[in-house]
Structure 1
Amino acid sequence: MGEELRRINTRGAGNGRVPSDTGRRRGAVDWIACGVAGLLLVSSTACAGTAAVPGKSAVESASPGVAPPGSATSRSAPTPVAAPTAALTGASAPHKQPAYASKALEVLATLPVKGRAPKTGYSRGQFGQAWADVDRNGCDTRNDTLRRDLTAEALKPGTRGCVVLSGILKDPYTARLINFRRGADTSSAVQIDHVVALSDAWQKGAQRLSPAQRLAFANDPLNLLAVDGPANMQKSDGDAATWLPPNKSYRCAYVARQISVKASYALWVTRAEHDAMARILADCPGALAPTGRQPTTPAPAAPPARKAPATAPAPVAPAPPAPVPAAPVPAAVYYANCTAVRAAGAAPIRLGQPGYSSKLDRDGDGVGCE
């Protein structure tokens, strides 16, 4: 988001640090553009030249259809479908393609439509440390995202493959090729954008999230893109009603990603924002939204106990007691890393289970923290 990236760390290349961001190493966690099972994106065939929303299912820790607390609007989430396997094409497509689920228009229909809440109390600090190393891979979120989104990148020796010194960005917002070079006067040419700006999120439901959920939101690869710096500054904290990428071929993917992020964190949209999104998607009605974590599924109902026959020639053993249904899982389940998963006794965690995310599933086989 533009307002945050004005403050990116531009210390010299010699100090071994660079403005930070989310994600993991390329090939590890690519929520934004990875082909990880359980993720969602917009297909290039459905939306000419577009990429999809991050690559997850329709929710982060709450179902996309779950309205924020106190909201009168709550609809059922669309049923995920099998992920296509065709690779993305187009000038601004990410390097890799996440899995797909529901159509972006269907997910949009689940988002509550409300007015903006006051911005009172908002600060960057409400979303935790900027570009924190949330996945504990020893590298900040900014560098994780640069490694994911750049090509031909050069890494700084002695940083365990973390710090990006240079690379080439195929910018989705402008469709330009940008040469990135780390340095006090050059790093800002490529910035990491919060697709749903932090300030916008704060005014549309993030005030009600826990500090841990807001930290996850600010560092979620689904909500992060390496983009042209000036375009990001122009966007600032605008929503789809006030700013869209100059690259029109990317607008379907951009809007679909915003929808997925908002669904993943149970945020809402304003009427103007909703209508702008619907207008963009009208040109690509088959566009698929990448999503966050898979929605939790209710525990199966216990089968009814069988009744003994009215008359029996001999006594029969009593029917076994019906299994006790599992306790309901809270809507918001978040694990910062595999250590937290194991501490909670949830390892290995599988695709579709509460708290599963692609960052916990390094090899993308649907089983994390093995």
Structure 2
Amino acid sequence: MATACSVLGHPPPAPGSPTRAELETLLAAVRIIDARPPLRGYERGCQANQACVFGPAWTGSPDAPGGHIGCDSRNNVLGKQLREVRFRPGTRDCVVDAGILDDPYTGKRITFDRSHPRAVQIDHVYPLAAAWAMGAAEWPLPQRLRFANDIIRNLLAVDGETNETKGDRTPADWLPPAQPYHCFYAGKYLTTATHYDLPVTIADHKALTRVAETCP
């Protein structure tokens, strides 16, 4: 029997993708606002005299979901998401030296080697700049640290070039290049938004609704 996606002319979604019904539940639960507010007071850098609004990159949070105590968030994500992982000796299975990524944005198989770290980057599915504009500016710092280091919901190891192309764009302006991963991405985005009570714009909601219609 043909799947709903193939009937509609779409390839089947990637493994681990939510169903249409699950996405519709999230779409009904998420807050919606007219448009993304202006970005004011956002300073990610942590050098002297910089605001460091989400804390130093990848330093983690003691209560960030999914963390491996003693490891930074980047290595935590790599260790959980890569296959055939090789850890640096003497780091208690913390520092990832090599592995293979099945990229959740392009579908490509990428060989990761720590000597070329930019090939695989860690993406915030719900971008930090967008979160700041959408309400995180009002959060206390510990909550911003949890959000920025949430391995379960908001962090993904992805193709580096694709991550740089995405930047801080949200679903109305960016979806994964590989269509089979749209349902997966929509689920991650909406799960993060609802868990942290972050809104989506009307345009984002429309884009994610169109994605849901392609899911079985």
* Class of the TM-score when normalised by the shorter of the 2 chains: 0.7 to 0.9
Would the aligned equivalents of 1:152 and 1:168 in 2 still touch at CA under 8 Å? Answer: yes
**1:265 pairs with one of 193, 196, 215:** 196
Shift of residue 106, structure 1, vs aligned partner: 1.5
- Residue matched to 1:238: 169
Unaligned runs of 5+ in 1: 1-46, 54-99, 287-370
- Residue matched to 2:154: 223
Shift of residue 52, structure 1, vs aligned partner: 4.2
**Are 1:48 and 2:32 an aligned pair?**
no
Would the aligned equivalents of 2:75 and 2:96 in 1 still touch at CA under 8 Å? Answer: yes
RCO higher in structure (CA 8 A, sep ≥6): 2
Alignment of 1:283-362 (within 5 A): 283-284=214-215
Would the aligned equivalents of 2:60 and 2:145 in 1 still touch at CA under 8 Å? Answer: no
Q: Which runs of 4+ in 1 moved over 6 A?
A: none
Shift of residue 258, structure 1, vs aligned partner: 0.3
Shift of residue 117, structure 1, vs aligned partner: 2.0
Would the aligned equivalents of 1:52 and 1:257 in 2 still touch at CA under 8 Å? Answer: no
**Are 1:110 and 2:29 an aligned pair?**
yes
- Residue matched to 2:8: none
Would the aligned equivalents of 1:50 and 1:249 in 2 still touch at CA under 8 Å? Answer: no
Deviations 1:57-79 (A, max 9, x none): xxxxxxxxxxxxxxxxxxxxxxx
Rounded to whole Å, the distance in 2 between the matches of 1:208 and 1:198 is: 13
Would the aligned equivalents of 2:58 and 2:72 in 1 still touch at CA under 8 Å? Answer: yes
Distance 1:166 1:156, change over 3 A: same
Deviations 1:212-264 (A, max 9, x none): 11100000011000000000000000000011101110101101110110001
- Residue matched to 1:119: 39
Is the partner of 1:109 in helix, strand or coil?
A: helix
Is the partner of 2:134 in helix, strand or coil?
A: coil
- Residue matched to 2:9: none
**1:207 pairs with one of 129, 132, 137:** 137
Distance 1:133 1:267, change over 3 A: closer
**1:281 pairs with one of 208, 212, 215:** 212
* Structure 1 residue identity aligned to 2:208: M
Rounded to whole Å, the distance in 2 between the matches of 1:152 and 1:274 is: 37
Rounded to whole Å, the distance in 2 between the matches of 1:134 and 1:52 is: 28
Q: Identity over the aligned pairs, expressed in percent?
A: 43
Alignment of 1:94-105 (within 5 A): 103-105=22-24
* Structure 2 residue identity aligned to 1:249: P
Would the aligned equivalents of 2:14 and 2:181 in 1 still touch at CA under 8 Å? Answer: yes
Deviations 1:72-108 (A, max 9, x none): xxxxxxxxxxxxxxxxxxxxxxxxxxxx9x7221221
Shift of residue 208, structure 1, vs aligned partner: 2.1
Shift of residue 110, structure 1, vs aligned partner: 2.0
Shift of residue 51, structure 1, vs aligned partner: 2.6
More helix as a share of residues: 2
Shift of residue 129, structure 1, vs aligned partner: 2.0
Alignment of 1:103-252 (within 5 A): 103-114=22-33, 115-124=35-44, 125-135=52-62, 137-183=69-115, 186-221=116-151, 222-252=153-183
Task: Count matched residues.
Answer: 191
Deviations 1:186-230 (A, max 9, x none): 110000000000001111121222211110000001100000000
Shift of residue 48, structure 1, vs aligned partner: 2.4
What do you get for the CA RMSD once the two structures are aligned? 1.9
Unaligned runs of 5+ in 2: 1-11, 45-51, 63-67
* Structure 1 residue identity aligned to 2:166: K
When Rg is computed on C-alpha atoms for both structures, the one with the higher figure is 1
Alignment of 1:17-36 (within 5 A): none
